[in-house]
Amino acid sequence: MKIINAWPFLTLAAFTLIVGVAFHLAGVSRDSGPIGTAFYYFAYVLGAPFIGSMTLVTRLVSNSAIRPLLGLILGISPYVAADVLLRRRRRQPKT
State in Å, rounded, how far the first CA of the chain is from the last one. 29
Domain span at residue 62? 2-90
C-beta separation of 10 from 79 below 8 A: yes
Instruction: Select from 86, 13, 85, 6 the least CA-distant residue to 49.
Output: 13
Give CA–CA dist 69/76, Å, rounded: 11
Residue 66 lies in a domain: yes
pLDDT tens digits, one per residue of 5-40: 888 988 988 888 888 888 778 877 778 888 888 888
Q: How many CA atoms lie within 13 A of 66 on its CB side?
A: 8
C-beta separation of 71 from 57 below 8 A: yes
pLDDT tens digits, one per residue of 28-82: 777 888 888 888 888 888 888 888 888 999 999 998 889 989 988 998 998 999 9
pTM: 0.75
Residue 39 lies in a domain: yes
Residue 95 lies in a domain: no
Instruction: Select from 77, 35, 38 the least CA-distant residue to 56.
Output: 77
Q: Number of structural domains, the chain?
A: 1
